[in-house]
Every structure is written in structure tokens, then in C-alpha cells.
Structure 1
Amino acid sequence: MFKGNTSKVHQVKGTVVLMSKNALDFNKDGATAIFSPDFSIKLISSNRVDGHKNGKVGKETSRDKNQPASSLPTLGEGKTAFNISFKLDESFGIPGAFYIKNLKQPEFFLVTLTLDIPDHGTIHFVCNSWVYKAQKDRIFFANKTYLPDTTPTAFKKYREDELKSLRGEGKEKGKRQEHERIYDYDVYNDLGNPDKSDDLARPVLGDSSAYPYPRRGRTGRDKTKKDPKSETPASGDTYIPRDEKIGHLKSSDFLTNGIKSLAQNVLPQFQSAIALDPEFDNFNDVRGLFKDGLPLLTDAIRTISQTPVIKEIFQIDGEKVKFPPPHVIQNGESWMTDEEFGREMLAGVHPCRIQRLQEFPPTSKLDASVYGDQTSKITKKNLQINLGKLTVEKALKDNRLFILDYHDAFLPFLRKINGLPNTKCYATRTILFLKDDGTLKPLAIELSLPHAEGDRCGANSRVILPAHQGAERTIWQLSKAYVVVNDSCYHQLVSHWLNTHAIMEPFVIATNRHLSVLHPIHKLLSPHYRDTMNVNGVARQSLINAGGLIEQSFLPGKYALEMSSAAYKNWVFTDQALPEDLVKRGMAVKDSSNLLQLVIKDYPYAVDGLKIWSAILNWVTKYVSFYYSDRVGEDRELESWWKEVVKEGHGDLKDKPWWPTKLNTRQNLIHICSTIIWIASAQHAAVNFGQYPYGDHILNRPTLTRRLIPDPGTKEYNELSTNHEKAYLKTITKKHEALVNLSVIAILSRHASDEVYLGQRDNPNWTDDEKVLKAFKHFGGELKKIENEILERNNNSSLRNRVKMPYTVLLPTSEEGLTFRGIPNSISI
């Protein structure tokens, strides 16, 4: 390390970058408070060992208190730099890790340590971790990467000890404390609150054949008095390992504060304002939320004006609150058209559910011994009416018939759902035809209810065909609304919450328990986990909990999470990769050269998504190939990681044959990591950031229906032809639920100013491997090319499914706010 006399002591200069618990602390005079932490650091050698063959530990050194702290613009908001110097000689070797002790403040956020080593160069430590006074000395490693069997002798024990601390070995019991960094598993047993009300009791999800579910992070709170299997809901912040709440991540702060503000301050004011007028009178009344605003009392305006979420999202105009106009409203009444109904299945907020029809009539996978024959009642004659000279057989053969099928997902729950106050719905099947211009035309909608004589008698179904006059026109419009409600609920509860948020949490936990920060796969995946556990904790507390905002505004109500549990039974990890998903749904086929060909060429989600998938796959292939020739099976950390993901994190599905049983090939590892990154980044973006542009126009995307189609001869039936707007509004989401939904998805669809997008890292020194950095830069360049290609496609007037509303959610980058674009690295909101 040092040249010259080896006995000579040399000075090594360092810079420590920290943030306080609140980087925006203010003193009583309104000035920024002085951040003056007291800490000590001991360097650890990477190539010199002590008598126990562990890296030599240097003397404890405190920061230079005679040199003022600096807060430079280049450091970023709230970050402060402190100088520190160490005295080392040749016998110490090269520092590669360090211990840090917090001596003063309850906690601070350690961002980085940078060392300038004479005759060696700069060593970077990227830390991004909370350091508590209550903790023992914390260890951090330099930005180098080692497989377990290539770890320097000096680091082997430190590496193993750090993983043990993250697993909480010896601390398996008891309530988790804020300063702890323990990753462990638990079931979803904290959604209900039976001690408060019997109506708020909910079944435990997970560890059960009846209600299988992915695992969440363990918090260890006390059990409820009425149900020893359930955990008491969090009264304040939900415990998550402290480093999962990244320092001042604004999307996290906005979500947490925004949801709480909505529940406590905003929505009660909205409810009071509409108490005497709970129904929309006509379509203009709905549009008025965006154009004219919601009138509120002066006191209410004063209350919500002091609420941060309002300032960020809504506009206060005098004594009215205006909501940002959703994009779909700009096209006037086009939401009512059959063309838009079909287009949104390919390019809307939920474009990953439609399937190619491969058998006719459609059949059911429900257990016939329980539900009887659930085969569709749609006939060829029903379809032939709108097929012209083309036969059903020919349309099937030519891959021109498609289906949006929610029959099996909803029928088993309809007796419960339709027994709730003010909710009535059908299980739906919709068959569509692919026109020559690449758009989809609905041919028939099947509406099904449980049979009056019992489930084993099959379903009571009726088939609705397109109509353009009188009561039949309104019935057709209502039928499309029942389909959209099925789609809205499945989207939010399954495709969004379950298939991205919930299934990702076990991967986060297992990675931190078994892959060291020195491991290349930890460095690859960790950016794609950022803040996910924190967001999920907020969701369990305010969104998906009993009586929470999702139960308030979506059709299944108290049965919402039960429905997602039923869907989890059919979840397959390997099918989450986009190419496999498209093939399984029949939306793509492989040609003679084994290349993927889309059945619908103008399928924006698939066209743009396959480009993003390919870029991710290429990046992961290069990255993994840098570290593995093909001895993947010899990596003991990797083996433990994958075993625990399957056996513990997704333990209710552990016996499914589709799991890759072992990570014994490089190709398996590449595909698994690519799938994880795809889910956390692009797939979540595709089902999340389009919510406001489409979903906040409640006429276009209702979240519940309150009545079935009226019977002929009734007053309500006559209204279908005399006042179709009133009939439609009496059926779909009313004002309160609409305002809840509108407010929630305005938060969920928003980007924070400090978001980190796919192809970016929050620190350029995340690794010291120049080959890896070069490959990552190339990955970013590929994404930029893809972004330009998407923009070009959106300007191509021949692509009818992009004309009225460009498909932008898979554009990799975004600015802050409600932008309807951008792929964050992780599920951070």
C-alpha cells in the first residue's frame, strides 16, 4: 500500500456522508438545525489477518471536529460530509471494510465513506443504512464483489456474521424493535382487527391450504384477544428492517403520509360534503370533479389545505377541490364505444389478462363436483351475428377470437359479494374479434350468477349482444360495466397487489438473509427491492386491511384479499416472465425458428414490453456471466437463498413442480434474476402508473356495481331507455366510493422526485468492476433507444391501439408527478 519506510505511519484521509433522521430539521428560529453527529470508525484490513485469521482491525478513530461539516450541492438534499483521518502503516494492508459506532444521536443515515489511500487510490464504501446508538458496531464493506468461495480469508467470518445478524439468529421471538435489522417471515395475520369489531375479523392468509399466500416480513406484535392466530394491527409505523426504509425516499414518505392524510383528514371532509347528495345525477356531474371541482365548507378547505397530499395532487380553487383530469376524459365520450372497450384490454391499465380463444365454447376449471358444469352458454349463433361471412371455426383457426374471462375468478365469491350491502355483480366472460385494422370488437358478453338451486347445478347465465338503441343499448353498456368491474377488481387485487407487491416480498427477505452484500446477485437485485417492504407495510395498515380504502371502494369488500388468495393458488413463478406469459395466454406463438411472434401485432403492452424484457435479459446475462462460468450449483449462499424462497417465502406452493428445483445452471440463474427484475420494474409500472389516466374517470372504469340488470316491466327497466345516464350511474360506483378510489390512485400513480429508474443507480460507485459498469452503461443506452422507438410507435397513425391515447407506461424514464410513464427500478409506491 505505502512506499518507503514500512515502519512509518501514514495518514489516510476519508470523507463520511451522512443524513440526519430528518434532513429537513428546523430549529425554533426557522433555520436549518445543525447536524452534528458523533461517531467513531475502525478500519478492517482486506489482506492482513489477526491471530484468528480475521481481517486486522485498526484503532478507533473519531471524526475531525475541528473541521466544519460541508453541505455541498453535489451531495444531494439533506446530505452532510464530515472529514476523518486514520493513521496506518504497511503492516495493516489495504482497508476493505470498517466498523462504525454511533456515539451521540439516536440514529443517522450513513450514505458513504470514501478513503484516499496513498499509492493505491480511492476506495468507495456505498452504505445506505441507518446506524443507531443502540446497535453494536456496524460493519460495512467496500464496493467489491466476491462469490462465497472467492472471499478473502480476512472477510470470511465477517461475511458470515453479518448474514447471521440479518437472520436474527438468537432473536427469533418477541416484538421487533425499530433499530433492528432482522429479516424473517410471517403470514398475513394482521389485516383484521377482531378485538375492535367482529365485522373486522379476517382469515389468516398463508400457511394454509384454504388461504395460501406469500409470506410477509415478521413484526412480532402481540396476538389479538379474540383470535390467537391474528396479530394486533400496527398502531403507528409498521416494523420493517430499518434499511428497507431508505433515507428520505420521497415516494415512501408521500405514500405513507398521503394515505394517512386521506383517511384522517381528506376523505371525512369529502364525505361530509356529499352527505346530502351521495349520487351522481348525470355524466356531467362526474366530469365536474375535474372541471368545476368539489364544493367544500370553508373550515373543510382550511383543514385539507394544510394536508400535504392535497398540495401535491389536488388544486384548491376558492372553496372547491379540483382533481387532475384523467387522460381518457380528453377523448370525450369515446370511453362508451366498443372500440375503446376492446382497446384498453391491449393498451390500458390492465393489458395482461386478455387471452386468445383456443376452444369453443369456453370451459371452466372450477371443480365440477362442487360447481357443476360451468361451460359457457355463448353459442356460435351469438357470435355469428357480428362475424359477417366469417364462420366461428374459421375465426378460431385464424387466431381472430379472444376472451377476457373472469368467470372462474368471481363465481365462487358471488354469493358472498352479492350478500353484502349495496353490491351486486356477475361473473363475466367477454369474447372479442380481431378486426383487419388490429382493433378488437366485442361480440358477446356472458353474465353469470350462482344457480338458485345450488352451486352444483352450474351457473345461471345470460348472453348479451351489442345493441345501439333503446333499453338494449343501455343493457349492453351496463354489461360492459360489469366486465370492467370484474377487470378493475382483478387488476387491483391480483395483477397489481398480489402479482407484484406481495409475491416480491419473500424475495426481498430471502436475499437479505442469505446473500451477502458482497455477493454479485445481491448487488444485482437489491436496487429492485428498494422500499417494497415499506410500501407493503403501509398497504397492510391502510389500504388492504379490514375496512381499509380498498375494501371501501372495490366490489369484493371484506372478501377482497380472500379473492387474491384464491388466485395465488394458480400463480406460477416461471410464467411471470413476459415471453412465457404471452405464450401461455395464446397471445404469442413460437415460429419454426423458435422466435416469438405476436398474434396481435398492434399489442402495445407486449410490443413495448418484449423490448424491455430483452434489454433486461441481455444485461443480466452479461452480469451473471462475469461471475459464473457454470459452477452455479457450488455457490452455497445462492443455494440457501433459492431454497428458502421456495420452501419458506412461497411455502404454500413449495410442492409445485414448476419451481426450478435447484440453481445448478447459469441459464436458470439468469432467467430467475431477469424475471425478478421484470416483475419489480416493468410489470409493476405497466399495471400501476396507468391507473389515474384511465381509472380516475369512474364512468370509464367503475370499481363496483350496486344492482343487477332490472327485470322487464319494472320502473327501473323503463329507465334504461328513458334515461340511460341515470340508469348507468345508479348501477356503478357512487360518489363516496368514487372519491376514495380517485384519491388513492392519484397517490399510487405518482412518481417522486428522487425516484431511480430502470438502467440507473443511486450511486455511480455501486461496484468497482469496470467491466460491469461498462455493461450497465450499455444497458442504459439500450433503454434509451427503446424509449425513442416507443415514442416513434406512438406517433404512427397506422397503429390504431395507440392513436387516441399513446401507450407510455413502459417509457423507461419520467419526471416527477402524474406522468403516465416511467419504469422505476422497484415497487416503491
Structure 2
Amino acid sequence: MNPTPSLPQNDSPAEQAQRLTTLTSQRQVYTYRFDSRLSPLGIAAEVPRQDNFSFVSLDGIATTALQLLGNVLAIGAKLFDNGEAIQNDAGLSEPELRRVEGLYQELAEGFSRLSDRTARLHQASRSPGVALIAGVIEGPRTLLKAAGQKLEETAGVTLVSEIATQAALDVPAIGQDIRDLIDTLLKKLLSEAGELFLAYLGLYGKAASLDAYSTQFSLLQAPSVASNYESDLVFARMRLAGPNPMVLQGIQALPEKFPVTDAQFQSVMGPDDTLARAGREGRLFLTDYALFQGIPTGQTSGGQKYIEAPLALFAVPAANVSDRKLRAVAIQCSQTPGRSSPIFTPKDGTSWRLARLHVQVADGNHHELIAHLGLTHLVLEEFAMATPRQLAPQHPLYLLLTPHFQGTLAINNAAEGSLIAPGGPVDQLLAGEITASTQLSIQAVANLSINQAFLPRALAARGVEDPSKLPDFPYRDDALLLWNDIRGWVSEYLAIYYNDDAAVRGDYELQGWVTELSSAEGGKLKDVGENGAGIQTFEYLVDLATYVLFTASAQHAAVNFPQRTVMSFTPALPLAAYAPAPTSVEEELPESAELSHLPPLQMAFLQQAVTFGLGNVYFTRLGGYDTYLREPWFQDARVWPAMQAFQKRLRATEREIGQRNLSRIPYETLLPSAIPQSINI
């Protein structure tokens, strides 16, 4: 049961002393580490037990692992389960064929065992006394911990030890067994034998056609974008409703480094429009990926990887045009114009499609490193650390924020140790060398102005806030609904405990919290607080808390879940190019030229596994504070009407977004029912 909420200045001296004792203890549990590969950011030295994955979230990971493994087995079944001798179209030797066949059998056996363990986990959840939300699973490791690592097989290694009968309902034991089993299966699938297996299945090397990427979806449903990603309208709309709606910015005129001509502009927008007119009317938009200029790139089994620093121009038709969807106008694949860096427009055929592919590569890298890892996961880590270190458990803000940190330290710790480790999935999939890539994430956090990241300000700073100038921007429109819903809840909740600005200024735990967020020995966040003097007003406290809740829930959902619905189909948004950008317009370029730029099939297979895995696990739901709990999270009955009002607003927002989707290309990413409370995957 949570303690009765109170502000520290209102407690008795004895109660204040007890709060300090508790905080002193908490600071020994939540300690910073500044020497990781994310240095100089401060991250949790260890994940406290209460912040580990719950078995409910582990169930989602296990279920997703079963889907991915089942998909691979379904592809293999066409070759292995037909009762005939296995074919050898991949040119494998007889010993290699035997290894492939053996691995297939091990994967099939592993699938059966994982299914059994997951069923036992479900059985355990019905046992009396099981803590559903508490961190009952220690030593967290993610589904993709071993992905991308080259591991030699060793003879005689069993997949996992059997669970003892007497421990059949021991949740931590089952959880550990599931993680061990998933790790082992992935190690085998991504070992040398796994590469032979993929080659045998036809999932290795350069694709012979675009259809080869679709064959990776056997039991899995391919994203709908697989059928229309080559459309210029879909390419433009990804800036507004794709995985990364965070780059597009409004401009009044083009920068000198991007000299698009009126003739090029009019080839898309029509003879009656001009760049100057569109700029005056606020209809010009730019994506600029200058941060990738000069980044060192890596290599994989597929060869050398490439990433450009492109610029792309978009425009909205004039107000008198009936269809005012955003249009893709021009692309320059480098920051320096010239003969070797021409400007491409849609009339340039295959050369345009190649330039567009390189924009997608840059956008995918920006998405994973900046919009996703940096500006949701890593920023929230600092709040998740400062909160238990500076706010006592009975502090109202502690009680408000804590559910929105559930699983964040655990998933970040797992990512730091595996996903972004050298040789891990990010290293293999993304274009940049891993140290350079993670440095971009670190700089994104270091350069972020927290006060300017509040959603309404952030949209205005990018010049994309006005629906009359940019009518079709689903992320903006739906995110603002959620921002307002969350802000209303935060304001009503905090008003129960803070009577005025003086109460905010007198809350010394709150002031310690904001100080640690920006401290060189703490969060190191930039521009947090009011004029360098802590938190002075109730309204600012509401805005800052709203930012935390929004980032943990809606913002992370906006950038995380399109990994499955868009990015799991590699041609739609490849994470690296395997040939440099075109340096001239080649009218006779064959359409198959695109295949030499796309990732090889084994990298597409890994991209599918990572993005589907990360984008398919939903744990908790925004506003559902009491889900999986045996008692209400908020024990103070004064909070309940405000929480119920919040839940009612979310239901209204769900209906409004549903109505919007009847008159636009559906955008379902920010439906409240699809938004978890915290960053937990």
C-alpha cells in the first residue's frame, strides 16, 4: 500500500527526518554510472529489483519470440517437412546440409519448449500471491540480447535445463528459464550454422527481386506499407505519420546549399506555383540530415554500408487546391551542391527512387538514434533516476511519475548491454560505426532543451504547428489531443496538493529533484527549471510533469510501434544502404539497380526480427494505473475523480481519432488504447 501523500514542508520534524532517511537509503540503491559506452550521460549503475521486468511484460516478449520463431520454422517447413530429401539449391556441402538440418530440428524443439514455458507462466499468473506488476524477474535480458553476435556452436550444449516439478509455478524461475531459452535459440539462429540455415532458406545475400523481401513473412503479416511504399505520396506522408515525424520543418526560403529551381519545383507543383509564393504562404517544408555528414560507416557480411547527409524538399499545394496533401519535390543527397551532387525530382525515374531510398536510410538512422533512443529512452532515464533519489515515496509527484517509469531502467540497461553493443543489432543494421552512432544519441540528449521540448513549443519551433499551412499532419493533431488530456490530468492531480506557487517554491524535495536533473553529478539535462532558479510556479510544474508523462507514453509509442508496422519491411525504410547515392541522373538505369542499394536478405531478416520484436510488445495502457494491481495505485480517494476524468478524456480522444481516420489515411499509432504508460520495450 502506498503511503499517504504529503509535501515535505507540511510534515512534522520527525516525519521529515524519516523522509530523509528513506531518501538516503534510496540513493544507495539508485546510483549513477558515468563510464559506460553512453558516457558522459549518467545511467543506472544497476537496475533495482523493483524496476526489473514484470512477468506480464516478459509474457509479451515470449509471445513475440514465438511469433518470430514460428515464422522462421514455417519458411523452413516448406523444405524440411515434405517427406523428401532436403534440396541443395544453396550449393552447400554435405556436412553443411547436416548442420542446417540439425539446426532446424533444434529450433523446432526450442519452439515447443518455449510454448510450454509460456503456458506455465500463464498458469503461474493465476496462482495466489503472485505480484503482477512488481519486478519479480531479476537479471533482465531482452529478446534480442544475442542478436547480431557471431557465436560458434559447441557440441553437447543443451538448450536449457528442465524446470523442476516443484518449481512449476515459481515465476522468477520460469522467467529466467524463458530468457535463457530465447537467448540460446537466438544464438543458434545467428551463429555460423544460422547463416547456413538462412542461405538454405534463400534468406541470404543480395535479393534477386523485391519479392524476396516479402518471402520473409510467412506466418507474420507483412505491413501494409509493403504494397505502396514506392509511392511518392507515401514517401511524403512518412514525414507526417511514419516512424519519425520529428524532422520535417517549415521554411520560408531554401538554404543556399540546396539550390532547387522554380522549374524543378513546378515540375511537381504545377506551373502556377513558385518557390517564393509557397515560402510566403508557409507551404515549404524541409528535412535536413546534416548530422550524418562524415559519419564513419561500418561493414557487415553484406559488404560496405553507406549513409548520406541528404536534404529533401516538400510542399503543400496552395489553399485553392482541393487535395492539399504534402508533396515530395526534390532531393539532394549531400550537403554540398555541385555536378556530383545533383538535385533529383520525381521526373528522374530510377535515379529519383535511389535518392529517395537514401533519404529513407538517413531518416531510419535518425529515428533509431535520435527520435527513439536519445529523446525518449535516454532522456527518461534521467527522470527515472532523479525521482526516487530526490522525492520520498509519499511525495505526490513521486506517486504520479513512478508508474510511467516502469521497466524503463530495465530496458535501457538491456539495450546498453546488447542492442547497442559492438557487434549487436544496431551495429549490424545501422549505417554508422557503433561508437559514432551512439555518440549521436548522446549528443541529442546533451543538446536537448527540455523547456523547448514541450510539445506545443516544439511544433512551433519547427514551423509545423499551423493546420492551415500543413493540413494533413496526423502525428501533430493526435499528439496534441493527448498532450492536452495528460496536462489536464496532471493539473487536476497536482492541484490537490499544491495550493499556490508558494507551495511549489517551498517544496525542498521538488527543488532538489529539478536540481539533480540538471546537475553535472546527475542528469546533466539542459534548460530544465525556470530561469535557473528551480521550479517557481505551479503552471511550470504542470508543464514539466506533462512532458515526462507524454514522453514516457505517447511520444515513445509514436516512434516505437511503427517499427513493426513500417520498418519490419526493409525496402520501405532500410537502415543502411549498400551502395553510394547516385551522382548523376541516369535515365536508362534499370529498375533492378535498387536491389544493389538495399540491404542483403540476412540483414533484412535481422531488421525484421529487431523491429517486429520491439514494435510488437505492448505492456500496460495509458491511464490504467490500477491494471495488474490488487489495490488502487492512488490510495488518496481525492485523486480518483481526477483519474476517472482523465480516463474519460482518453476514451473521447479514442473516438475522435477514430472519426479522423474515416476521412484521412488511417493513423492508429496514437490511439490511447495502443499507448503503454511507460517505456518498457
Shorter-chain TM range is 0.7 to 0.9
What amino acid maps onto 1:159 in structure 2? Answer: R
1:282 aligned residue: 209
2:626 aligned residue: 761
**Greater per-residue strand proportion:** 1
Q: In 1, are the aligned partners of 2:239 and 2:245 still within 8 Å (CA)? A: yes
Q: In 1, are the aligned partners of 2:375 and 2:444 still within 8 Å (CA)? A: no
Q: For residues 157-189 of structure 1, what are the alpha-carbon distances to aligned partners after superposition, in whole Å with 9 as ceiling and x for unaligned?
A: 322211101112xxxxxxxxxxxxx112222x4
The root-mean-square deviation of aligned C-alpha atoms, in Å, is 2.6
Correspondence for 1:732 among 586, 598, 605: 598
Q: In 1, are the aligned partners of 2:339 and 2:584 still within 8 Å (CA)? A: no
Correspondence for 1:635 among 487, 501, 507: 507
**Separation in 1, partners of 2:299, 2:47:** 37
Q: For residues 219-260 of structure 1, what are the alpha-carbon distances to aligned partners after superposition, in whole Å with 9 as ceiling and x for unaligned?
A: xxxxxxxxxxxxxxxxxxxx3122111542424882835213
What amino acid maps onto 2:676 in structure 1? Answer: P
2:19 aligned residue: 159
Q: In 1, are the aligned partners of 2:229 and 2:572 still within 8 Å (CA)? A: yes
Correspondence for 1:400 among 283, 286, 291: 283
For residues 175-194 of structure 1, what are the structure 2 equivalents within 5 Å? Answer: 182-187=29-34, 189-191=35-37
Correspondence for 1:501 among 348, 372, 377: 377
Q: In 1, are the aligned partners of 2:285 and 2:314 still within 8 Å (CA)? A: yes
- Three-state SS of the structure 2 residue aligned to 1:356 is strand
Correspondence for 2:652 among 754, 771, 785: 785
Q: In 1, are the aligned partners of 2:379 and 2:445 still within 8 Å (CA)? A: no
**Separation in 2, partners of 1:531, 1:418:** 31
Pair 1:544-2:420 in alignment: yes
- Three-state SS of the structure 1 residue aligned to 2:613 is helix
**Separation in 2, partners of 1:428, 1:706:** 16
Aligned in 2, Cα 1:257/1:498: closer, same or farther, shift over 3 Å?
closer
- Three-state SS of the structure 2 residue aligned to 1:528 is helix
Q: In 2, are the aligned partners of 1:572 and 1:658 still within 8 Å (CA)? A: no
Task: Give the C-alpha shift of residue 460 in structure 1.
Answer: 6.2
Task: Give the C-alpha shift of residue 389 in structure 1.
Answer: 1.2
1:514 aligned residue: 390
1:327 aligned residue: 224
- Three-state SS of the structure 2 residue aligned to 1:507 is helix
Task: Give the C-alpha shift of residue 746 in structure 1.
Answer: 1.1
Task: Give the C-alpha shift of residue 459 in structure 1.
Answer: 11
2:190 aligned residue: 267
Between 524-533 and 661-670, the greater mean CA deviation after superposition = 661-670
**Separation in 2, partners of 1:695, 1:736:** 15
Q: In 2, are the aligned partners of 1:647 and 1:654 still within 8 Å (CA)? A: no
Task: Give the C-alpha shift of residue 759 in structure 1.
Answer: 4.6
Q: For residues 297-319 of structure 1, what are the alpha-carbon distances to aligned partners after superposition, in whole Å with 9 as ceiling and x for unaligned?
A: xxxxxxxxxxxxxxxxxxxxxxx
**Separation in 2, partners of 1:418, 1:515:** 44
For residues 292-331 of structure 1, what are the structure 2 equivalents within 5 Å? Answer: 293=218, 322-329=219-226
Q: In 2, are the aligned partners of 1:573 and 1:659 still within 8 Å (CA)? A: no
Correspondence for 2:589 among 700, 716, 721: 721
Aligned in 2, Cα 1:828/1:711: closer, same or farther, shift over 3 Å?
closer
**Separation in 2, partners of 1:155, 1:335:** 61
Structure having the higher Rg: 1
Correspondence for 1:773 among 640, 653, 659: 640
- Three-state SS of the structure 2 residue aligned to 1:362 is coil
Q: In 2, are the aligned partners of 1:252 and 1:534 still within 8 Å (CA)? A: no
Q: In 1, are the aligned partners of 2:310 and 2:335 still within 8 Å (CA)? A: no
Aligned in 2, Cα 1:473/1:275: closer, same or farther, shift over 3 Å?
same
- Three-state SS of the structure 2 residue aligned to 1:627 is coil
Aligned in 2, Cα 1:570/1:384: closer, same or farther, shift over 3 Å?
farther
Structure 2: tracts of 5 or more residues without a match:
63-140, 146-182
1:222 aligned residue: none
Task: Give the C-alpha shift of residue 478 in structure 1.
Answer: 0.5
Task: Give the C-alpha shift of residue 534 in structure 1.
Answer: 0.2
Higher relative contact order (CA 8 A, sep 6+): 2
1:563 aligned residue: 440
1:827 aligned residue: 679
Structure 1: tracts of 5 or more residues without a match:
1-124, 127-141, 169-181, 192-203, 207-213, 219-238, 294-321, 364-374, 452-457, 590-596, 814-821
What amino acid maps onto 2:632 in structure 1? Answer: N
**Separation in 2, partners of 1:246, 1:661:** 36
Task: Give the C-alpha shift of residue 439 in structure 1.
Answer: 1.1
Aligned in 2, Cα 1:246/1:341: closer, same or farther, shift over 3 Å?
closer
What amino acid maps onto 1:327 in structure 2? Answer: S
Task: Give the C-alpha shift of residue 733 in structure 1.
Answer: 1.2
What amino acid maps onto 2:678 in structure 1? Answer: S
2:111 aligned residue: none
Aligned in 2, Cα 1:601/1:490: closer, same or farther, shift over 3 Å?
same
Q: For residues 252-304 of structure 1, what are the alpha-carbon distances to aligned partners after superposition, in whole Å with 9 as ceiling and x for unaligned?
A: 882835213374133335522234741111011111111xx4xxxxxxxxxxx
**Separation in 2, partners of 1:782, 1:166:** 35
1:666 aligned residue: 538
Task: Give the C-alpha shift of residue 384 in structure 1.
Answer: 3.4
What amino acid maps onto 2:15 in structure 1? Answer: F
Q: For residues 743-774 of structure 1, what are the alpha-carbon distances to aligned partners after superposition, in whole Å with 9 as ceiling and x for unaligned?
A: 0111111234x524335333452233222111
- Three-state SS of the structure 2 residue aligned to 1:335 is coil
Task: Give the C-alpha shift of residue 572 in structure 1.
Answer: 1.4
Task: Give the C-alpha shift of residue 641 in structure 1.
Answer: 0.7
1:177 aligned residue: none
1:625 aligned residue: 495
- Three-state SS of the structure 2 residue aligned to 1:361 is coil
Q: In 1, are the aligned partners of 2:313 and 2:328 still within 8 Å (CA)? A: yes
**Separation in 1, partners of 2:570, 2:209:** 12
**Separation in 2, partners of 1:385, 1:788:** 40
**Separation in 2, partners of 1:160, 1:566:** 34
Task: Give the C-alpha shift of residue 658 in structure 1.
Answer: 8.2
What amino acid maps onto 1:401 in structure 2? Answer: L
1:526 aligned residue: 402
Aligned in 2, Cα 1:485/1:252: closer, same or farther, shift over 3 Å?
farther
Between 740-749 and 485-494, the greater mean CA deviation after superposition = 740-749
**Separation in 2, partners of 1:335, 1:614:** 33
TM-score, structure 2 normalization: 0.76
1:812 aligned residue: 672
Across the two proteins, how many residue pairs are aligned to each other? 549
Q: For residues 42-79 of structure 1, what are the alpha-carbon distances to aligned partners after superposition, in whole Å with 9 as ceiling and x for unaligned?
A: xxxxxxxxxxxxxxxxxxxxxxxxxxxxxxxxxxxxxx
**Separation in 1, partners of 2:378, 2:531:** 18
Aligned in 2, Cα 1:667/1:251: closer, same or farther, shift over 3 Å?
farther
**Separation in 1, partners of 2:608, 2:577:** 16
Q: In 1, are the aligned partners of 2:517 and 2:528 still within 8 Å (CA)? A: no
Task: Give the C-alpha shift of residue 154 in structure 1.
Answer: 5.2
Task: Give the C-alpha shift of residue 502 in structure 1.
Answer: 0.5
2:613 aligned residue: 747
Task: Give the C-alpha shift of residue 684 in structure 1.
Answer: 0.2
| Identity in percent | 28
**Separation in 1, partners of 2:233, 2:521:** 42
Task: Give the C-alpha shift of residue 465 in structure 1.
Answer: 1.5
